[in-house]
Amino acid sequence: MVLGAVSCISIVYFYILQRNFSKNHREFKIALNSLQDNHQELNYLILQNSISVYSNQDQIAKDTNNLLVDYETLSQSHILNSSKYKKIQKDLLILKEQLKNNSQNVEEFLMLSAGIKNSLLFLTRHVENGIALKHNGQNIFFSAGKILKHFNDAIRMQDLDYLKNGNFLLPTDTTNQKIKDYATSFNAHSSFLMKKYPEFIQITKQVLSSNIDASINKIRTSFFTISRNDFAALDMFALILFTVFSSSLLGTIFLLFLYIKENKKLLETKESLEHSLSYDLLTNLYNRRMLEKKLKSSIAPHLLLLDIDEFKHINDIYGNAIGNLLLQKMARFIQVKLSDIPDISLYRLSADEFGVLFDDTQEVVVLSIAHMLEKEIAKHTFTIDDLELNVLVSISSNNVSPILENADLALKLLKKDYTKRVLAYQENLNLKKSAQENFETVALIRDALAEDRIIPYFQPIINLKTSKIEKYEALVRLQMKNGTILSPFRFLEVSKKTPYYREITKVIIEKTLATLKEYPSLRFSINISMIDILDEEIVKIFLSHLRENMPDSSRLDIELLESENIQNIEKVKHFIGEVKKFGSQILLDDFGSGYSNFAYFSDLDIDMIKIDGSIISEITTSERKLHMLKSIYQFSKGMHMINIAEFVETREMALLLKEVGVKYAQGYYFSQPLAKPLDYTDVSI
């Protein structure tokens, strides 16, 4: 910056200096040339004047004056202020003296010249007049002519030699008064010329041979010599200036470089700011973004994924505030437990999922740490306010790329396996394959829907007392392009995570209803899970179809599939109330497995209970199962609910069920699910 300013000022200074110098230089040169021109013109005019009889002397006066004016200009020239030109000032003083002398000489010359010319003119005229002289006046006339010739020659040649050795006076010793007067007048001018002429010649020579020209030339030469040095100095200055300018340019570049560097720092600061954004605000651990970043820069990453089991329950039971505090405590706990371990970083990846990233650490070590951590957490009681919480964690471990995805898959698998708390990802877990299969299944469902290959299969339900088919259960099937039929366990679970699930439900309802219309003496049932009922869209579809297909829809029953942890039982209750308006009956599916809850019967208006296949299939072999069957039957009877047994595979089973009093049965003993209901209704047991 300073350098730039200095170079700018220098450029201006140089410009002024250069301009002034050039101006002064020119001024001096012009004055010198003018002086010389004037002097030469003056010399010419003097020469002319010395030869001619008369001339206009204005120019001589003017030139003489101009010489002095030029000299003044010259001597006051600014360039002479410089000490280098002292030598010239000396020469100028000499020139001044010469000019002064010359000026006086010119004045003198003009004075002498006037007199000489006048006398010469007089003599010329006088000689002419001598023609008139008589007698020996003739000799006088000739003598006068001769003398005049000498004078004229002398003047023309500017040579005194013509006036040497001779008599330039006419004899006056005549008695003739006229001749005497003639000679006297002649002699007066002749002697005037003789006296003044040498002075005139001398002064003329002095004027014409003055050293002024030489002095001017000398001044010019030394002026140019000195000024050449000055110009050289100016050139040098320009060079220096150029150097300064260049270096300031370089300086600017350097500053620019600094700026870029500074900018880089700024970027780094920004990055660190972003880095701070990479922290999880709740636990102050790194967040998922940071993990992804860190994974990219790690050489040999090894990730532990830690998930709190049933964290959702904690949140549900104690509220998010406690849940968050638990997460913070967990984060601190993990931090403390792992504080001695080098090359690790801790993350909170999602709600209750933590990550521990190792870099370049042996797998054995990582796994032992995972086990240690799991055990420590299980042992530890987290105290939040006055609440004491014991939690378990599942930890998956993975060092196979893609790190996070594989760890996630392992964790998911681990969650399903209650026997293990720590699981290391291995290629042979085939987790990825199943994910791939999921993807393929989704594509399958999508295509099947598009090509109308989602179809209901119907399994007859037999009244054991009358041995007649009274009902059919509609079961969803996916028909492959080659005609093979896929059972729901191959695609239904996957479809539930996609929007296609509603589509499937809708298709099954529609097709079941269509079949139902063809068999007016039969009832049909459709499976629907309690979770489905929470989906308002599905409920809407269901109810609108029932409404549209009245009164046939009164023969469509609902097989309610029990789901884990139904939170909003009110919605289910409401749904049952709605479908019952159309005459549908409600059937509780798979009773006797899973969470089968008697509470349902107090809240829900259920007409039938389908006893789970796990009980039915063993009634002939297990006393316990038979007892369970009987208990369910008794319970159902008391509650005025009808029983259906599924998975009936043998006649023995059918007879036993009949004996117990179970009204309906279905299963392979009677018929597997069929594309269409049977043409007949009578079966033999």
Partner 1 sequence: MNKLALIVLLFICIYADEPISPIPLKNNINTEKAKLGQLLFCDPILSQDNSTACVSCHDIYGGGADSRAVSIGFAGREGNIHAPSVLNAKYNFKQFWNGRAENLLEQANEPINNPLEHAMNFHSIEQRMNASPMYKEKFQKVYHVSFISYRLVLDAIVEFENTLTTPNAKFDKFLRHEIKLDKEEEEGYILFKQYGCITCHNGVNIGGNSFQKMGTFLEYTSKKEYPDRSKVTHDKNHKNVFKVPTLRNITLSAPYFHDASKQTLKEAIIAMSEHNLGIKLSDQEIEKIIAFLHTLEGERPYILDIK
Contact residue for partner 1 among 61, 234, 282, 569 (CB under 8 A): 61
By CB under 8 A, tell whether 39 contacts partner 1.
Answer: no
By CB under 8 A, tell whether 152 contacts partner 1.
Answer: yes
For residue 31, give every residue at least 6 positions away whose Cβ sits within 8 Å of its Cβ, in sequence order, or none: 70, 73, 74, 77
Q: How far is the CB of 60 from partner 1 (least distance, A)?
A: 7
Contact residue for partner 1 among 88, 148, 455, 615 (CB under 8 A): 148
- Interface positions, 175-214, toward partner 1 (CB under 8 A): 185, 188-189, 192
Binding-site size, partner 1 (CB under 8 A) = 40
By CB under 8 A, tell whether 53 contacts partner 1.
Answer: yes
Contact segment (CB under 8 A) with partner 1 among 127-135, 237-245, 249-257, 652-660 equals 127-135
Q: How far is the CB of 50 from partner 1 (least distance, A)?
A: 12
By CB under 8 A, tell whether 237 contacts partner 1.
Answer: no
Contact residue for partner 1 among 10, 34, 101, 118 (CB under 8 A): 118
By CB under 8 A, tell whether 128 contacts partner 1.
Answer: yes
Which string of x and - marks every residue 85-104 that binds partner 1 (by CB under 8 A)? -------------------x
By CB under 8 A, tell whether 65 contacts partner 1.
Answer: yes
By CB under 8 A, tell whether 81 contacts partner 1.
Answer: no
Q: Which is nearer to partner 1, 124 or 211 (CB)?
A: 124
3-state SS, residue 184: helix
3-state SS, residue 151: helix
Q: Which is nearer to partner 1, 166 or 594 (CB)?
A: 166
Task: Label residue 667 left, alpha or beta by phi (over 0 means left) and psi (-120 to 50 means alpha).
Answer: left
By CB under 8 A, tell whether 60 contacts partner 1.
Answer: yes
Structural tokens at position 104: 């006086």
DSSP 421-456: SEEE--GGG-HHHHHHHHHHHHHHHHHHHHTT-EEE
By CB under 8 A, tell whether 54 contacts partner 1.
Answer: yes
Q: How far is the CB of 68 from partner 1 (least distance, A)?
A: 8
Q: How far is the CB of 108 from partner 1 (least distance, A)?
A: 8
Q: How far is the CB of 69 from partner 1 (least distance, A)?
A: 9
Contact residue for partner 1 among 92, 95, 127, 183 (CB under 8 A): 127
Task: Please give the backbone phi and psi of residue 197, each rounded to the nearest 5 degrees, phi first.
Answer: -60, -45
By CB under 8 A, tell whether 51 contacts partner 1.
Answer: yes
Report the C-alpha gap between 564 and 603 in whole angstroms.
16
3-state SS, residue 166: coil
Strand-pairing partners, residue 460, are 472
Q: Which is nearer to partner 1, 151 or 354 (CB)?
A: 151
Q: How far is the CB of 191 from partner 1 (least distance, A)?
A: 11
Query: Is the bond leading into 499 cis (omega within 30 degrees of zero)?
Result: no
Q: How far is the CB of 115 from partner 1 (least distance, A)?
A: 4
Closest by alpha carbon to 219, among 73, 89, 98? Answer: 89
Structural tokens at position 476: 């969803």
Q: Which is nearer to partner 1, 107 or 292 (CB)?
A: 107
DSSP state at residue 674:
B
Contact residue for partner 1 among 36, 38, 43, 64 (CB under 8 A): 64
Contact segment (CB under 8 A) with partner 1 among 126-134, 305-313, 411-419, 430-438 equals 126-134
User: Terminus-to-terminus CA distance in the chain, angstroms?
Assistant: 108
Q: What is the C-alpha radius of gyration for the chain, rounded to an integer number of angstroms?
A: 68
By CB under 8 A, tell whether 43 contacts partner 1.
Answer: no
By CB under 8 A, tell whether 129 contacts partner 1.
Answer: no
CB 518 within 8 A of CB 485: no
Count CB atoms within 10 A of the CB of residue 122.
17
Closest by alpha carbon to 348, among 292, 414, 288? Answer: 288
Q: Which is nearer to partner 1, 50 or 515 (CB)?
A: 50
* Amino acid identity at 588: L
Closest by alpha carbon to 512, among 459, 563, 581? Answer: 459
Q: How far is the CB of 163 from partner 1 (least distance, A)?
A: 17
For residue 240, give every residue at least 6 positions away whose Cβ sits within 8 Å of its Cβ, in sequence order, or none: none
By CB under 8 A, tell whether 131 contacts partner 1.
Answer: yes
For residue 610, give every residue at least 6 positions away whose Cβ sits within 8 Å of its Cβ, in sequence order, or none: 559, 587, 588, 589, 590, 591, 643, 644, 645, 646
Contact segment (CB under 8 A) with partner 1 among 105-113, 374-382, 389-397, 505-513 equals 105-113
Contact residue for partner 1 among 114, 214, 236, 655 (CB under 8 A): 114
Q: If residue 354 lies in a helix (H) or strand (E), which one and from where to where? A: strand 353-359
Report the C-alpha gap between 532 and 501 in whole angstroms.
10
Measure Cα distances from 378 to 353, 372, 374, 416, 423 in Å: 16, 10, 6, 18, 16
Q: How far is the CB of 110 from partner 1 (least distance, A)?
A: 4
Contact residue for partner 1 among 10, 84, 115, 231 (CB under 8 A): 115
CB 64 within 8 A of CB 99: no
Q: What strand order describes the sheet that includes 422-424?
A: 344-350, 353-359, 301-308, 393-398, 422-424
Structural tokens at position 160: 């005194």
Task: Please give the backbone phi and psi of residue 611, each rounded to the nearest 5 degrees, phi first.
Answer: -80, 130
By CB under 8 A, tell whether 278 contacts partner 1.
Answer: no
Q: Which is nearer to partner 1, 51 or 250 (CB)?
A: 51
Contact segment (CB under 8 A) with partner 1 among 51-59, 389-397, 487-495, 536-544 equals 51-59
DSSP state at residue 53:
S
By CB under 8 A, tell whether 681 contacts partner 1.
Answer: no
Q: How far is the CB of 30 from partner 1 (least distance, A)?
A: 22
DSSP state at residue 593:
B
Contact segment (CB under 8 A) with partner 1 among 46-54, 364-372, 440-448, 573-581 equals 46-54
What does the binding site for partner 1 look like in residue numbers (CB under 8 A)? 48, 51-58, 60-62, 64-65, 68, 104, 107, 110-111, 113-115, 117-119, 121-122, 124-125, 127-128, 131, 145, 148-149, 152, 185, 188-189, 192
